[in-house]
Amino acid sequence: MKKIIISIILLLIAIVTMAYLYFSKLNANHSTSDIGLFAATSSSGFIFSFENEKGITDILKEQQLFNEILGDERYKELTSLKKYVLALPKVSQSIENQNVYFSFVPGNNLEMDILCITQLNNPSHTPQLLHAIKASGTQLEPLNNLNKVTLADSTIFYLGIKGNLVVLSNSPQQVTTVLAKNLKDKDDKFAEYIQASNRFNKNSLAQLYINFNTLPTLLKNIIPGKLNGELSSLQNQNSFAVLTYNYSKDKILLTGTTIANNPNNYYNLFSDLNAQKINIQNILPINTSSYTIFAVDHYLPWRKKLNHWFLSRHEDKRVTKLITDINTRYHLNLDDIFPKYFQDQLITFQLSTAEKIGAINLTNGDKLMQLLIDLSEDYNDEIKLLKEDDMLYAYFGLPFEGFKKPFYIILDNYMIFANNASTLTSFLNNYNNNHLLINTTNYIGANNQLPGNSSISVYIDHANSTSIFSKNIYPSYDKDLQSDKGLKKYDSFTYQLSGDNGKFQTNILINKTPDVLRKDSLAL
């Protein structure tokens, strides 16, 4: 018996020791096993990744899409890099089975620089690698511990190698910055999330990694000031996304997961809710430029989360007092109004005129209209004005923060509100004449490619957003948006999130107008 006990103890000690050594080695050596990933995530929040041996550039060569999205200059640079460097047998052998990370980082003069990061299987072969590149006809010129790489078509990159880390960029400053970083003991939650997610994505063609914390910094060379409109929710969205690219010749479709790291993020109020069948978009006017929809499966449990969100913003007492004061002043109970007759969806949307509107769907619009009589003033027979501030904000939170004391209408079990009565007059004209977004070919085409159920859905209509884009992004990027060789033919962008036990199943669709698709001809 003693021998058995001793054997068990020794076995446990051996297991614990082996586990300790194994995980210690993992932690100590992440800089060599995943140094390319850690270098990429420390440099950019928007990273495109693929395994070198999968030959993704060959798979994507039929796709005119990437030329249109990246623009001629950046596409030409990537094409040249693949053709004259990555395709060389010695280079391909040196990074065989390694991931290649392409990312974009803000450069000088409102430019967006490219970073290409990977790692060598054997850093001792670096001299032979450089010799093979030079022997292929590419010029290598030493420059401050880097190599200036001039390709056969005169495209210029800068190459830096440190140990087994390889960094290429159109900017020498970007290469120097990456090589100067200490990646050995870096606590990088973004990289760790990618590693954990990739265990389940071994067979994916390519992936996109997004760190929403740094996305505003990346976009500063495109959008002056803060993100606004339906993109404003991304401004402080402390989230990570790992998305898998789904091959298609006529659209960009990415699927994967998103996790909101901050428990007090408004989006997190929906991360463990059941996705709902979305239909509130049926009321949207034909000139809708963008919208964000939130779906709540059961309001009362969700209300507890909302109250905690108010607490995190130090607004809980103000909101409670606001409701109490209104109840006392009008001798009613607001909790018997909005919570009772709200159904399951709320939306904010912006028109091509930049006017903003909000709406909720209802279980009984006629009853809600009666209960709001004392809280409202008549503007005309259809349009009313709420007499008290922030009632909608108190019951639904962030999306309705901008509607303090709005005008509103109730029709067909929807409450629609705006800050100007004229906006609702225009809305009614479109609604009554069936001039609706859901009747357009482009919207039908995009909507049919995604699940009908979601928790959060963001949509941007390209044509209806043209004038808004031109006022909110720098001219060079606006020119690309409106160019036939750029993004003009892409009719919409959809960002769809479905709650899943604390995270979100995610779809991103960049859809292209079907009747203007051209046969892809450019080759990587």
Range among 235-244, 263-272, 486-495 with highest mean pLDDT value: 263-272
Q: What is the pLDDT of residues 349-393, one digit of tens each?
A: 999 999 999 999 999 999 999 999 999 999 999 999 999 999 999
Query: Residue 3 has what pLDDT?
Result: 46
**3-state percent helix, strand, coil for the chain, nearest multiple of 5:** 40, 25, 30
Residue 265 to residue 267: CA distance in whole angstroms: 5
> Which phi and psi (to 5°) does residue 94 adopt?
-70, -30
* 150 in Cβ contact with 135 (< 8 Å): no
Q: Is the pLDDT of residue 87 over 70?
A: yes
Beta bridge partners of 411: 414
Residue 22 to residue 29: CA distance in whole angstroms: 10
Q: What is the pLDDT of residues 194-228, one digit of tens each?
A: 998 876 566 677 899 999 988 888 888 888 776 66
Query: Residue 138 has what pLDDT?
Result: 94
pLDDT band at 183 (very low <50, low <70, confident <90, very high): confident
CA 342 to chain centre: 29
Beta bridge partners of 99: 51
C-beta atoms surrounding 198 within 10 Å = 17
Q: Is the pLDDT of residue 44 over 70?
A: yes
Query: Residue 402 has what pLDDT?
Result: 96
Query: Residue 4 has what pLDDT?
Result: 45
Residues 6+ apart with CB under 8 A from 88: 132, 133, 136
Residue 149 to residue 132: CA distance in whole angstroms: 13
* 346 in Cβ contact with 293 (< 8 Å): yes
Q: Is the pLDDT of residue 298 over 90?
A: yes
| Choice among 254-263, 379-388, 472-481 with the minimum mean pLDDT | 472-481
Three-state SS at 34: coil
Query: Residue 185 has what pLDDT?
Result: 62
| Choice among 291-295, 401-405, 415-419, 509-513 with the minimum mean pLDDT | 509-513
Query: Residue 8 has what pLDDT?
Result: 43
**Spans of all domains in the chain:** 30-198, 222-524
Query: Residue 510 has what pLDDT?
Result: 92
Question: Which residue would you say has higher pLDDT here, 359 or 27?
Answer: 359
* 209 in Cβ contact with 49 (< 8 Å): yes
Range among 1-15, 176-190, 424-438, 470-484 with highest mean pLDDT value: 424-438
Q: Is the pLDDT of residue 60 over 60?
A: no
> What is the residue-wise DSSP string for 217-272?
HHHTTTSSSS--GGGGGGTT--EEEEEEEE--SSEEEEEEEEEE--TT-GGGGGTT
Q: Is the pLDDT of residue 313 over 80?
A: yes
CA distances 504 to 308, 396, 453, Å, are: 20, 20, 13
Residue 399 to residue 13: CA distance in whole angstroms: 55
- Residue 39 tokens, joined: 């270098």
Q: Tell me the one-letter amino acid at 168.
A: L
* 481 in Cβ contact with 487 (< 8 Å): yes
pLDDT band at 27 (very low <50, low <70, confident <90, very high): very low
Query: Residue 250 has what pLDDT?
Result: 77
Q: Is the pLDDT of residue 134 over 80?
A: yes
